[in-house]
Amino acid sequence: MPASQPSNMDTLIPAPVFASPAPAEDFAVTAATAVHAVDAAAPVAEHLAELLRAGTGHPVRVLPGPAPDGAIALVLDVAAVPHPEGYRLRVTRRSVTLTAATPAGLFAGVQTLRQLLPAQAGAGWVVAGGEVHDQPRFAHRGAMLDVSRHFSTVAEVKRFIDQIARYKLNVLHLHLTDDQSWRIEIRSWPRLATYGGSTQVGGGPGGYYTQQEYRDLVAYAASRHVTVIPEIDVPGHTNAALASYPELNADGVAPPLFTARGNATGFSSLATDKEITYRFVDDVLREVAALTPGEYLHLGTDETHATPEEGRLAFIDRVLPMAARLGKSVIGWHEILRSPGLPVSTVPQYWGRESSDPLMAAAVARGNRVLLSPAHKVYLDMKYDLSTPIGYTWAGCIDVADIYDWDPAPTWTACPSRPCWASRVHCGRRRSRRTSTSSTWRSPGSRPSPR
């Protein structure tokens, strides 16, 4: 695009519910432009002003009170925009008005506004004129980052949060533990992080987040309207914990740290018949829950090939109530559905490759919310095609169009007569270097949009 051209409203990502370009109504951001907002809208206005200052070099100020001509107004108005994450954006030559019911809706509108600016100033900083109305189709729109196989610093995770927020994702699923490492400080079991977190795939130095650093990440994400869901993967995918504490092993012997790539999975298990295992899980969940303002803890539960089935069932029976006592609901990879009688609050996350799954369908029929992250659609570490130099092919080749065009709803809304939730997850943690996911669940009555 020539530098002087504004972005095209027709190429917004994700596609909004409604966009009506009006090229004669482009709005110029100048040295005189200010953002007007009051009360709860003010932090979002400050965020927008900061972005505009950094991008344009203009001293964009945040001011209270009604916006005069030439200004950008951020307005909270529940009556005008009923959806809590929806917004309306009107760009004319004289002003920009962004209206939403909540700060989260305003924040989403700010991300759209950014895409309406040109990538470079050229003839000026011009916001494309017209009108955009939008609201998300799914309540949960997530991305997963595997910091266990390869460590990401706090600064890198913050950058990732910024990137997902630009595309209106609102959940960061952090895969904190696996065979290769344990990345979160647990004060009652300190060697998990100091020893279990001391390496990574390929044998690099690894690292871990102190509880203070983790709190900082959670707060940073919240400032971008992103909720962090921590994943502590148990009872399998636990070599790093088993290496750190011999007593968690069935034979009482700690294995060495494991630094091979993630395609050797399913070989480790906590000793599900030892009481100390349950003290361990209880301690870990208590400390992680205390760092987690969100509703969910993700407990993994996938690929338990090294756990006897009886032990796996007993384990799930004992750990789910631990989370409930801490006031948290549990997400598990879809293998968790092999346990009968799960509470309706348990959320299975589907990572399989089938177009339907009887256990998932039954869960939806019972009223469980579900997350969808089918590997052959949204695992981002798959090659685009066979000529792609890096990436895996075990779930197929997935190019950008495959991911972007994937619609989770037809698969999963067909099954139940009850309200149904669907989820979209871009995930690749299993065999990946660093991977990501995005996911959603759909609220009853929410209406489909092109997103």
**Bridge partners of residue 234, in order along the sequence:** 300
The pair of structure tokens assigned to 36 is 């007007």
Which of the following is catalytic: 303, 310, 335, 354?
A: 303
Give the nearest distance from C-beta 265 to ligand ACM in angstroms: 7
Based on CB atoms, which residue is closest to ligand ACM, 75 or 425?
A: 425
Based on CB atoms, which residue is closest to ligand ACM, 107 or 350?
A: 350
Give the nearest distance from C-beta 302 to ligand ACM in angstroms: 4
Q: Is 247 exposed, middle or buried, given 0-12, 13-18 or 19+ CB atoms closer than 10 A?
A: middle
Give the nearest distance from C-beta 427 to ligand ACM in angstroms: 6
Q: Which of 333, 392, 421, 441 binds ligand ACM (CB under 6 A)?
A: 333
Give the nearest distance from C-beta 375 to ligand ACM in angstroms: 7
Considering CB under 6 A, how many residues would be counted as binding ligand ACM? 6
Question: Is residue 303 annotated as a catalytic residue, yes or no?
Answer: yes
Between 303 and 332, how does the x/- string for binding to ligand ACM read (CB under 6 A)?
x-----------------------------
Based on CB atoms, which residue is closest to ligand ACM, 128 or 145?
A: 145
Give the nearest distance from C-beta 394 to ligand ACM in angstroms: 10
**Furthest-apart CA pair in the chain: how many Å?**
74
Give all strands of the β-sheet with 141-146 in edge-to-edge order.
371-372, 347-350, 329-333, 296-300, 227-234, 171-175, 141-146, 424-426
Between 413 and 432, how does the x/- string for binding to ligand ACM read (CB under 6 A)?
----------------xx--
Give the nearest distance from C-beta 223 to ligand ACM in angstroms: 29
- 277 phi/psi in degrees, rounded to 5: -60, -40
The pair of structure tokens assigned to 224 is 């971008």
CB 242 within 8 A of CB 249: yes
Q: Which of 151, 195, 351, 392 binds ligand ACM (CB under 6 A)?
A: 351
Based on CB atoms, which residue is closest to ligand ACM, 125 or 351?
A: 351
- Tokens 């756990």 locate to 307
Residue 280 engages ligand ACM in binding (rule: CB under 6 A): no
Q: Which of 302, 307, 347, 350 binds ligand ACM (CB under 6 A)?
A: 302
The pair of structure tokens assigned to 126 is 């011009």
Give the nearest distance from C-beta 287 to ligand ACM in angstroms: 24
Based on CB atoms, which residue is closest to ligand ACM, 185 or 303?
A: 303
Give the nearest distance from C-beta 300 to ligand ACM in angstroms: 8
Based on CB atoms, which residue is closest to ligand ACM, 72 or 144?
A: 144
Give Cα 187 distance to the centre of its chain.
Answer: 26
Q: Which residues are catalytic?
A: 303
Kindly list the residues in this chain that would bind ligand ACM in the complex (CB under 6 A).
302-303, 333, 351, 429-430
